[in-house]
Chains A and B, each alone.
Chain A
Amino acid sequence: MLALLDAWFLAPFDYGFMRRAVVGGLALSLAAPPLGVFLVLRGMSLIGDAMAHAILPGVALGFLLAGFSLPIMSVGGVLFGLLVALLAGAVSKMGGQREDAAMASFFIISLAAGVMLISIGGSSVDLTHVLFGSILAINSTALLLIASISTLIVIILAIIFRALVVECLDPLFLRGQSRRSGWVHSVFLGLLVLNLTAGFQTLGTLMAVGLMMLPATSARFWSKRLEGLIGIAIVLAMIASTGGLLLSFHLDIPSGPSIILLAGVGYLLSALFGRYHSLAAKLRRKTTPLALE
Chain B
Amino acid sequence: MSERSLSRLQLHDLHLAQGGRTVLEHVDGDIKPGAITALIGANGAGKSTLIQAIMGELRPTSGEVVCTVDKARRAWLPQQLALDLTFPMSVEELVMTGSWPSHGALKGYCAAHYRKGRDIMARLGISHLAHRPLGELSGGQRQRALIGRTLMQEAALLLLDEPFANVDSETVDVLIPIFRQMADDGMTLIVVLHDMDHLRRLADEVLMLNGGRGRWLAPSALNHQHHASAQIVPFTIGGRHAGTA
Q: Which residues of A contact B (CB under 8 A)?
A: 41-42, 159-160, 162-163, 165-166, 168-174, 176-179, 223-226, 228-229
Contacts and interface: CB of A to CB of B under 8 A. Distances in A.
Contacts of B86: 41
A41 B75 contact: no
B101 interface: yes
A176 B88 contact: no
A169 B74 CA distance: 18
A173 B159 CA distance: 13
A176 B105 contact: no
Interface string B82-119: 11101111100010010011001110000000000000
Interface of B: 55, 71-72, 74-76, 78, 81-84, 86-90, 94, 97, 100-101, 104-106, 133, 149
A229 B88 contact: yes
Given A178-B100, A224-B88, A226-B89, A170 B106 contact: no
Contacts of A177: 71-72, 100-101
Contact of B97 (A42, A169, A171, A229): A169
Contacts of A169: 83-84, 87, 89, 94, 97
Given A166-B97, A177-B101, A178-B100, A225 B88 contact: yes
Given A173-B82, A225-B88, A226-B89, 17 more contacts: A162-B105, A170-B81, A170-B84, A170-B97, A172-B76, A172-B82, A173-B97, A176-B55, A176-B72, A176-B75, A177-B71, A177-B101, A223-B88, A225-B90, A226-B87, A228-B88, A229-B88
Ranked 9 nearest A-B pairs via Cβ: A172-B82, A163-B105, A177-B100, A169-B87, A226-B88, A170-B83, A162-B105, A177-B72, A166-B97
Contacts of A170: 81-84, 97
A165 B101 CA distance: 16
30 contacts: A41-B86, A41-B87, A41-B88, A159-B105, A160-B105, A163-B105, A165-B87, A165-B89, A166-B97, A169-B83, A169-B94, A170-B84, A170-B97, A172-B76, A176-B55, A176-B71, A176-B75, A176-B76, A177-B101, A178-B72, A178-B104, A178-B105, A224-B88, A225-B88, A225-B90, A226-B87, A226-B88, A226-B89, A228-B88, A229-B88
